[in-house]
Amino acid sequence: MQEKKLNIVFLSTYPPRECGLATFTQDLMEAIDAVGTVNSYVIAVNNSISREYGDKVIHEINQYNQLDYTDLARKLNNSDMDLLVIEHEFGIYGGEYGEYIMGLLKNVNIPVITTLHTLLKRPNPKQKKIIRELGERSTKLVTMAQNTKEILEKVYKISPDKIEVIHHGVPIWDELDRQSLKNEMGYGKKILISTFGLLSPGKGIEYAISAIAKTVEETSNILYLILGKTHPDQKDESYREMLEGLVTKYNIENNVKFINKYLTKEEIIRYLQMSDIYMTPYLSREQAVSGTLAYAVGYGRAIVSTPYLYAKEMLADKRGMLAEFENADSLYKCLDFIIKNPDEKADMEKRTLTLGKTMFWPIVAQCYIDLFTREDQLNQEASLIVFPQLMVNIENGVVEC
């Protein structure tokens, strides 16, 4: 007799809503569905914009309507869902710092796993309370970097046996020749440096542009690609206009190109594969994960970044270079070193790709599935088990979660 598949429902933003969390959830669900051992569904967190969702979306909530959260708990309690997975960002749930999510957690009866996409080392009291309650009411908290475990334990007093580390996933794509892609796109012998993602002031791209201006003085055949439209939460284009003004000020119009659109995964990967250096000059020291950086690691790029939490872990062991926050000269020195030391660059790419191969979505999805299955067994048996961390043996092709 075939065992009943688990019904897993995700609470998250979801395409066509344009945000990194939506893309993450869609990618994870597609990878889970490809394995075929559990059923996955999504409850879409919507804002004031009406959207047409696909069949995967079985329910919607208005993030700003507090009653929607308690009503959702009631619906889930009366459903055939076995497990709720909350994709958590403070900004996508209503109330102060997303406190409306507590109305769901306090009333839902099915088990909950929460994936943390933001984790602050110095939270204010309300932020700390929310994460602590998520920890208390979730059977597991999933984080995407080992260095955030200590923060959860020491700052938020979360029990270590509640914390699971699973990588941010990366799509598998055919490896294409960098120079052939450059030729196809008309970039020829340009040294391509890229940054992608929705534009907002926290991205620190003004420092990257200033660094490019310094770099161009010694290496003129540079092209910096700033890939992405303005973040939907921004009220106007003032940030982009400020960046464009800097490009004009430094007279580097031939060295900086804005691609003002929301990129498809295919476009992101194509640009990454032709890039010589990927750069994330973010301003926040406490960023616990970056989907854009995960992609760059997955495709083995040489990377320059400011040392936010996720970057410090991803670029350890000489997988990239870390520059100082809000320091264009520091970014410039990293770029200049990589450009002038091709052997070091090749070594960085090799080390980065070794890590990147452990982050492909089929591997990550299997780890989530194992977590869901084991949590279900725990709930049925009412016993405690500590889950081992993800281990990947690339040479032998063995994946264990």
342: domain CATH number is 3.40.50.2000
Query: Using one digit for the tens of pLDDT, what is the confidence trace for 32-58?
Result: 999 999 999 999 999 988 899 999 999
In DSSP terms, which residues pair with 164 in a beta bridge?
142
pLDDT at 390 over 70: no
Asked if residue 310 is part of any domain, the answer here is yes
Mean pLDDT over 94-107 rounds to 96
Mean pLDDT over 94-112 rounds to 96
Residues 6+ apart with CB under 8 A from 221: 189, 190, 191
Asked if residue 235 is part of any domain, the answer here is yes
Chain-centroid distance of CA 67 in Å reads 29
Give the three-class secondary structure for 122.
coil
Same-domain check for residues 139 and 249? no
**Other CB atoms within 10 A of residue 54 CB:** 11
In DSSP terms, which residues pair with 227 in a beta bridge?
196, 259
Same-domain check for residues 157 and 189? no
Same-domain check for residues 353 and 366? no
Domain range enclosing 283: 178-358
Same-domain check for residues 251 and 113? no
Nearest in space to 205 (alpha carbons), one of 184, 189, 224, 233: 224
pLDDT for position 380: 62
Q: For the whole model, what pTM was predicted?
A: 0.88
pLDDT for position 381: 54
Mean pLDDT over 130-137 rounds to 96
pLDDT at 397 over 60: no
| Alpha-helix runs per DSSP H in 117-261 | 125-137, 149-154, 178-185, 205-216, 238-249
Mean pLDDT over 194-221 rounds to 95
Q: Provide the pLDDT confidence category of residue 234 given band limits of 50, 70 and 90.
A: confident
Mean pLDDT over 284-288 rounds to 85
CA-CA distances (angstroms) from residue 355 to 46, 165, 265, 318?
35, 15, 20, 12
Same-domain check for residues 39 and 10? yes
Same-domain check for residues 32 and 155? yes
Distance (Å, whole) CA 309 – CA 119 = 9
Asked if residue 344 is part of any domain, the answer here is yes
Asked if residue 142 is part of any domain, the answer here is yes
Give the three-class secondary structure for 256.
strand
pLDDT at 401 over 60: no
Asked if residue 375 is part of any domain, the answer here is yes
CA-CA distances (angstroms) from residue 233 to 52, 260, 279?
20, 16, 23
Same-domain check for residues 187 and 126? no
pLDDT at 207 over 90: yes
Query: Using one digit for the tens of pLDDT, what is the confidence trace for 176-190?
Result: 899 999 999 999 999
pLDDT for position 357: 93
pLDDT for position 384: 37
**Stretch (H or E) spanning 365:** helix 361-381
Q: By percentage, how much of the chain surpasses pLDDT 70?
A: 93
361 burial level (CB within 10 Å; 0-12, 13-18, 19+)? buried
CA-CA distances (angstroms) from residue 86 to 11, 329, 374?
5, 40, 17
pLDDT at 398 over 50: no
Same-domain check for residues 240 and 323? yes
Tokens 């914390």, located at residue? 163
Total number of domains in the chain: 2
Give the three-class secondary structure for 87.
strand
Q: Provide the pLDDT confidence category of residue 386 given band limits of 50, 70 and 90.
A: very low
For residue 348, give both structure tokens: 């960085």
pLDDT for position 378: 65
Same-domain check for residues 246 and 393? no
117 burial level (CB within 10 Å; 0-12, 13-18, 19+)? buried
pLDDT for position 388: 35
| Alpha-helix runs per DSSP H in 257-306 | 265-274, 291-298
Residues 6+ apart with CB under 8 A from 311: 280, 282, 287, 290, 293, 303, 305, 320, 322
Phi, psi dihedrals of residue 13, rounded to the nearest 5°: -70, 160
Query: Using one digit for the tens of pLDDT, what is the confidence trace for 296-307?
Result: 999 999 999 999
Same-domain check for residues 258 and 349? yes
Asked if residue 1 is part of any domain, the answer here is no
pLDDT for position 38: 95
Choose between 285 and 361: higher pLDDT.
361
pLDDT for position 379: 66
Same-domain check for residues 190 and 313? yes
Same-domain check for residues 199 and 322? yes
Give yes or no for a cis peptide into 16 (omega within 30° of 0).
yes
Identity of the amino acid at 139? T
pLDDT for position 175: 81
Query: Using one digit for the tens of pLDDT, what is the confidence trace for 313-328?
Result: 999 999 999 999 999 9
Query: Using one digit for the tens of pLDDT, what is the confidence trace for 327-385?
Result: 999 999 999 999 999 999 999 999 999 999 999 999 999 999 999 998 767 666 543 33
pLDDT for position 4: 80
For 203, half-sphere exposure in the C-beta direction (CA atoms, 13 angstrom radius) is 24
Nearest in space to 294 (alpha carbons), one of 205, 389, 221, 359: 359
